[in-house]
Amino acid sequence: MILSKTCNYAIRALLYVATRKSDNFVPVREISQKLDLSFHFLSKIHLILIQHHLTTSSRGVKGGVSLARPAEDITIYDIIEAVDGNAMFQNCVLGLENCSDDHPCPLHHSWSEYRLNLKKIFQEVTLADLAEKINNEQVRLSNITEILD
Amino acid sequence: MILSKTCNYAIRALLYVATRKSDNFVPVREISQKLDLSFHFLSKIHLILIQHHLTTSSRGVKGGVSLARPAEDITIYDIIEAVDGNAMFQNCVLGLENCSDDHPCPLHHSWSEYRLNLKKIFQEVTLADLAEKINNEQVRLSNITEILD
DNA sequence: GTAATTAAAGATAAAAGAGTCTTAAATCAA
DNA sequence: TTGATTTAAGACTCTTTTATCTTTAATTAC
């Protein structure tokens, strides 16, 4: 797996929040039910997202989480960086410590080019882009077919 | 990290064997010393490689491991597939189970194209290609600068 | 103020990945 | 045959990731 499970869940959760596009907070319970994920685990993931200023939250009856800034301004890369870090986009594919153009590993050349593309793919796409696709029912967010009822 | 540590070590170990290009077996002890990796851990990794018919081995005084077929016929992809499996080259980037052209996740389109490139990069390169680079001292295999003395 | 609701925080546990250690088995050399 | 060498195999430990459960704190509605 390229992304950790935690990161997968984070992306899907934020996409769900983005599709709700209400001014209100979205309860974690609702997200976990709609995406069929563990409520407690998702709560924990949200702490990370809050720490990285991707979401804000409110406790209490009308509480929940919401995006910290417009969905247009949050890329998938932002989420990956917050949860999994950016090692994937920087490190040597063979795990060597000072792999560089000057001291390359055998795969350095092809990999460093590829790595940029990987970053690009995730940076080019915002939550808004994907939320629109989801709302147009062109794509899905969960193993369960219907998530938005 | 895209590849597991186990997989990194496996690739580097086989590259080392390929650079030795002797008809003899190469002791795991020698590999571990030259690559600065744990001998016992590397021994374990070699069991995987042997099971997947990437290497053969011999016990005893002149024993060790050697490539099961010519270095020209072993790609980096072969090693990755043996050690880490092929989930990375097949699975949905968001971890959805039946993500496909018919039932895509929001990232399916860009990802499925990208995934093919990823596979290609590793399939295009053989141990022989990289061993040649290493022997020409264009690249390195270890954090330690000199590995071939 | 009280009760219901919801995130925050922390303790705990299960599973997987990474790494170590010991013993057994095979091979070679003398 | 004996001893040295080297892989094979399995038990064991440590760390990280994933997941669960419980308690606390904040917010809202009444």
**For position B143, what pLDDT does the model report?**
65
Q: Which residues pair with A15 in a beta bridge?
A: none
- Assess whether pLDDT exceeds 90 at residue B98: no
Which segment of A18-22, A111-115, B79-83 scores lowest on mean pLDDT?
A18-22
Average pLDDT over residues B26-54: 97
Tokens at B14, concatenated? 């086989």
What is the pTM assigned to this prediction? 0.91
**pLDDT tens digit sequence for A27-44:** 999 999 999 999 999 999
Cα–Cα distance measured from residue A104 to residue B30, given in angstroms and rounded to the nearest whole number? 23
* Chain B positions touching chain A (beta carbons under 8 Å): 1-3, 5, 8, 11-12, 15, 76, 87-88, 91, 93-98, 103-108, 110-111, 114, 117-118, 121, 124-125, 130, 133-134, 138-143, 145
User: Which one of 2.60.40.10, 3.30.450.260, 1.10.490.10, 1.10.10.10 gives the CATH number of domain A5-137?
Assistant: 1.10.10.10
Q: How far separated are the first and last CA of chain B, in Å rounded?
A: 30
Tell me the sheet residues that pair with A26. A65
| Per-domain residue ranges of chain B | 5-137
- Given A95, A133, A145, which is nearest B8 (Cβ)? A95
In angstroms, rounded to a whole number, what is the distance separating the alpha carbons of residues A50 and A73? 16
Question: Rounded to a whole number, what is the distance in Å from the CA of A60 to chain B's nearest CA?
Answer: 31
Q: What is the torsional sign of CA A94, A96, A97, A100? A: negative
Q: What is the pLDDT of residue A143?
A: 66
On chain B, the residues whose CB falls within 8 A of the CB of A121 are: 110-111, 114
Determine the pLDDT at residue B47.
Answer: 97
pLDDT tier at A149 (50, 70, 90 boundaries)? very low
Q: Do A104 and B8 touch (CB under 8 A)?
A: no
Residue of A nearest to B15 (CA): A106
Q: CB of residue B123 closer than 7 A to nucleic acid strand D?
A: no
Please check whether residue A114 is in contact with residue B117, taking contact to mean a CB–CB distance below 8 angstroms: yes
Between CA A109 and CA A107 the distance in angstroms is 6
Query: What is the length of chain A?
Result: 149
Q: List chain A residues with CB under 8 Å of B145.
A: 103
Q: Which two tokens stand for residue A3?
A: 């992304």
pLDDT bucket at A144, cuts 50 / 70 / 90: low
φ and ψ of B42, to 5 deg: -65, -35
- Cβ-based contacts of A145 with chain B (< 8 Å): 103
- Tokens at residue B1, please? 């990290």
Contact between A57 and A50 (Cβ < 8 Å): yes
Burial B85-121 (b: 16+ CB within 10 A, else e): eeebbebbbbbbeebeeeebbbbbebbbebbeebbeb
User: Roughly how many angstroms between the first and final C-alpha of chain A, as a whole number?
Assistant: 30
**Chain-centroid distance, C-alpha B32:** 15
Can you state the angle between helices B76-84 and B39-51, rounded to 10 degrees?
100
